[in-house]
Amino acid sequence: MTAVKIIDGLYWVGAVDWNVRAFHGHTYNTQKGTTYNAYLVVDEKIALVDTVYGPFTADLIENIKEIIDPAKIDYIIANHVETDHSGALPAIHKLCPKAKVLGTQKCKEGLYKNYYGDWEFQEVKTGDKLSLGKKTLTFLEAPMLHWPDSMFTYMVEDAILLPNDAFGQHYASSQRFDDEVDPCFLMDEAAKYYANILLPFSPLVLRKIDEVQKANIPIKIIAPSHGIIWRKDPMKIVNAYVEWAKNTTKKKVVIVYETMWKSTEIMAKQIADGIIDSGGVDVKIYDVGSADKTDVIKEMLDAKGFLIGSSTHGNDMLPHMAGFLAFLKDMKPKGRLTAAFGSFGWAGGAVASIEKMLKESGIEVAQPGLGVKFVPDANEIKACYEFGREFAKKIGG
């Protein structure tokens, strides 16, 4: 990708990573790739806002060179320490060694512990300003959105917010703007990103959006550090964040199971039929052993109910389910109802183990779990169906 002009004096100079499929270790499956968005602000002084992941340093340098000589950069704004945005900083700084690096105090600590660079660093706090000539940058600390060092940069005269990870999507594309891509697809990717990265920080998201709204700051464009830039209707993504952060849910149940010899799968389908026949409740079913976990968590974002099933193995749940529930616990979903089910051969154990983990996650276990020995018979099939109907009532079906 070449540099893209956003407005006079502001350019996208980042990189598109078409091939990445595992992000943050393997906690996020980036089936659509991602982008590392860096922005060049050109005025009497020149500022680079964020860089890119290290392996994409050459793309960043090439894009900057289309606009200016990198040696002319006066400031590098580091909104976030994480290496997907700071990895190219050491190489860029070599091209503009007099450039000052700006970021929060936590950013300073983090950058040093990552790169040990001998750079002139200016710590900034919320409300601090940096004049580039006709354009002014101001900074808004955003701790835990999603790291302690996180910060937003705001272009005052142009009303453009550069919020780094917030409002992003993992989506590699040759388009850069929301009015150039399918809006439903875009919101789906943004929801997936929120569910898998920002959900645990929802109270902070609400507080930060409230802070910005009370400050009456106009926002014409939101240019995040991953994915597409919101210029058609930037409030659309802000309003969606408010709903997601409030844990607003629908009459929807996500059934997630792992099965050894299909008995737990049979149970899952019968439970689903019970819910569907109750009417008015949407149901999704996933085998966690084969489904994309990132998609499952996204489906859970607006679901009131989660039903979790596993066969018993060694008196416990199966290992994919254990890993999935550990991740779900980290996401801290609020205001949801849940219940457990599963088949067993000897003594059982998975249902109790799932319930324990769900309770530890702060998710309400709304009804007793359902266990079936080996393959469900006709009565047990009926019990699964009734289990689904009972749960549907609790969801409002």
CB of 59 to ligand FEO, least distance (A): 16
Non-local (6+) Cβ contacts of 292 within 8 A are: 29, 31
Pick the closest to residue 232 from 182, 194, 189, 195 (CA basis). Answer: 182
Among 77, 85, 186, 328, binds ligand FEO (CB under 6 A): 85
User: 196 — alpha (psi -120 to 50), left (phi > 0) or beta?
Assistant: alpha
Q: How far apart are CA 382 and CA 38, in angstroms?
A: 57
The nearer residue to ligand FEO, 85 or 106, going by C-beta atoms, is: 85
Sign of torsion over alpha carbons 295, 265, 370, 360: negative
Number of residues that bind ligand FEO (CB under 6 A): 9
Among the residues of 25-135, which ranges form H helices?
57-67, 83-86, 89-95, 105-115
Complex with ligand FEO: residue 135 or 146, whichever CB lies closer? 146
Question: Is 165 an interacting residue with respect to ligand FEO (CB under 6 A)?
Answer: yes
Interaction between residue 336 and ligand FEO (CB under 6 A): no
| 84 in contact with ligand FEO (CB under 6 A) | yes
How is 333-395 classified by DSSP, letter by letter?
--S-EEEEEEEESSS--HHHHHHHHHHHTT-EE-S--EEEESS--HHHHHHHHHHHHHHHHHH
50 is an interface residue for ligand FEO by CB under 6 A: no
Indicate the residue among 53 and 341 with the shorter CB distance to ligand FEO: 53
Q: Which is nearer to ligand FEO, 69 or 330 (CB)?
A: 330
355 contacts ligand FEO (rule: CB under 6 A): no
The H or E element that residue 237 is part of is helix 234-245
CB of 85 to ligand FEO, least distance (A): 6
Question: 361 and 329 in contact (C-beta within 8 Å)?
Answer: yes
Give ∠ CA 192-180-34 in degrees, rounded to 5: 40
* Shortest distance, position 251 Cβ to ligand FEO, whole Å: 33
Find the shortest distance in angstroms from Cβ 13 to ligand FEO: 16
Measured from the CB atom, is 147 or 324 closer to ligand FEO?
Answer: 147
CB of 86 to ligand FEO, least distance (A): 9
Using CB under 6 A, which of 80, 93, 135, 251 touches ligand FEO?
Answer: 80
Does residue 82 interact with ligand FEO by CB under 6 A?
Answer: yes
* Inter-residue contact 228 to 186 (CB < 8 Å): yes
Q: Catalytic residues, which ones? A: 24, 80, 82, 84, 146, 165, 193, 226
Both tokens assigned to 190: 């943004």
Binding site for ligand FEO (CB under 6 A): 80, 82, 84-85, 146-147, 165, 225-226
